């Protein structure tokens, strides 16, 4: 495939720093509900499921998924709703109480910093900040077009008392602010009990299996071809989908299709991932530490990222990742698609790996170079 060369301007456009995030406090129909009226909603990549026409979106390029965030003070709640596509919660700061079920009493789990939870589609879910005011929850939604959300019946009824209505095409009407309901407009009605009774139920144990707790992550020490080479050395924990692992023995915490995969990369100072590229879209989000991302095989351009900064890496662009801080760093990786991500390594990396006795087999996994067939050996 031809090289994709990223310009300095394009790198800047695809870099979304924490300071670039713009909150919207009227993104959803519960924005005036007491206990939910102090939420900050963010849309960094794609519009997500925001119901506000004025929602700021940092990067609208289609990625095959949407990335946003929710920040709210202690005690503030994101009310019960359900999604048509996958919703993944990534808690990077603080503590949140997750609850689910049509009335929110089917089960509860606490999410802490470093935890990732995959919430099943077609069940009602909500969460409350039970930690400090600076709690932070990233969200990853499956596919470019999510279809919007369905609010819990009680949420819609209470919103009406505050002059808020939702049209059938997911647009918010604020009569207190002067909006009028156009004649003939179909408004969203609360879900009837008939449909509520058809929703699947999840026990606490079933939901726990969809949570990758930060202190229980399973790491591969050698996930990539370059793991033992200078410039490599990161560890990888697959959370949702197999993603980009080249470790034959590594399995993800959550298997079912999401339209994207999610993993953690962990590196000590100086460690990283050597020059490679992939066909899938990719977003890198820093949890801890300082990371330098360099794009292009020729005419390289670089950016340094700190906590909560993110970078959208173009498809087929060559890239290296490096922890340039003084302490261990964690980086979240989101790739598009439900299949495995097959990395293409730069020839110099592949040759160095071959000299070290390693290669990639026909199934895309690291294997002894001497045991590979001639079709997989070039040196």
Closest Cα to residue 98, out of 83, 122, 78? 78
- Mind listing the domains of the chain with CATH numbers? 8-212 (2.60.120.10), 220-376 (2.60.120.10)
Closest Cα to residue 319, out of 307, 337, 327, 331? 331
Are the CB atoms for 98 and 129 separated by under 8 Å? no
From the number of C-beta atoms within 10 Å of its C-beta (0-12, 13-18, 19+), residue 186 rates as exposed
How confident is the prediction along the chain (379 residues), in pLDDT tens digits per residue? 778 999 999 999 999 999 999 987 665 677 677 766 777 889 999 987 776 667 799 999 999 999 999 888 899 888 899 999 999 999 999 999 999 999 999 999 999 999 999 999 999 999 999 998 888 999 999 999 998 889 888 888 888 888 888 888 777 888 888 888 888 888 888 999 999 999 999 999 999 999 999 999 999 999 999 999 999 999 999 999 999 999 999 999 999 999 999 999 999 999 999 999 999 999 999 999 999 999 999 999 999 999 999 999 999 999 999 999 999 999 999 999 999 999 999 999 999 999 999 999 999 999 999 999 988 888 7
Closest Cα to residue 56, out of 66, 64, 46? 46
Q: What is the pLDDT of residue 27?
A: 54
Please list the residues that pair with 311 across neighbouring strands: 15, 284
Q: How far apart are CA 204 and CA 189, in angstroms?
A: 30
pTM (predicted TM-score): 0.93
Q: What is the pLDDT of residue 376?
A: 81
From the number of C-beta atoms within 10 Å of its C-beta (0-12, 13-18, 19+), residue 43 rates as buried
Q: What is the pLDDT of residue 53?
A: 67
């Amino acid at each position: 495939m031809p090289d994709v060369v990223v310009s300095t301007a394009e790198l800047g456009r695809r870099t979304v720093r924490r300071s670039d995030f713009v909150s919207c406090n009227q993104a959803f129909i519960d924005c005036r509900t007491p206990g939910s009226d102090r939420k900050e909603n963010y849309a960094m990549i794609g519009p997500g499921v925001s119901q506000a026409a004025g929602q700021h979106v940092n990067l609208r390029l289609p990625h095959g998924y949407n990335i946003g965030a929710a920040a709210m003070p202690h005690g503030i709640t994101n009310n019960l709703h359900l999604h048509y596509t996958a919703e993944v919660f990534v808690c990077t700061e603080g503590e949140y109480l997750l609850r689910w079920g049509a009335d929110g009493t089917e089960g509860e789990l606490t999410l802490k910093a470093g935890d990732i939870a995959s919430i099943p589609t077609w069940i009602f879910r909500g969460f409350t900040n039970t930690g400090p005011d600076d709690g932070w929850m990233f969200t990853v939604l499956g596919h470019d077009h999510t279809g919007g959300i369905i609010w819990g019946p009680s949420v819609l009824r209470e919103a009406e008392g505050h002059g808020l209505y939702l049209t059938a095409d997911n647009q918010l009407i604020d009569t207190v602010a002067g909006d009028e309901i156009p004649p003939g407009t179909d408004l969203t009605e609360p879900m009837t009990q008939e449909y509520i009774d058809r929703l699947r139920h999840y026990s606490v144990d079933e939901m726990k299996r969809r949570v990758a707790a930060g202190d229980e992550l399973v790491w591969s020490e050698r996930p990539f071809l370059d793991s033992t080479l200078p410039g490599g050395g990161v560890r990888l924990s697959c959370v949702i989908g197999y993603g980009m692992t080249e470790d034959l023995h590594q399995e993800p915490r959550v298997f079912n299709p999401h339209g994207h995969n999610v993993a953690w990369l962990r590196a000590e100072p100086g460690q990283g991932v050597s020059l490679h590229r992939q066909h899938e879209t990719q977003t890198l989000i820093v949890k801890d530490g300082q990371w330098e991302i360099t794009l292009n095989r020729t005419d390289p351009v670089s950016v340094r990222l700190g906590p909560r900064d993110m970078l959208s890496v173009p498809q087929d662009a060559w890239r290296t990742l490096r922890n340039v801080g003084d302490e261990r760093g964690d980086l979240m990786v989101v790739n598009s698609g439900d299949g495995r991500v097959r990395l293409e390594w730069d020839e110099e990396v592949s040759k160095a790996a071959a000299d070290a006795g390693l290669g990639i087999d026909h199934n895309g996994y690291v294997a002894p170079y001497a045991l590979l067939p001639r079709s997989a050996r070039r040196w």
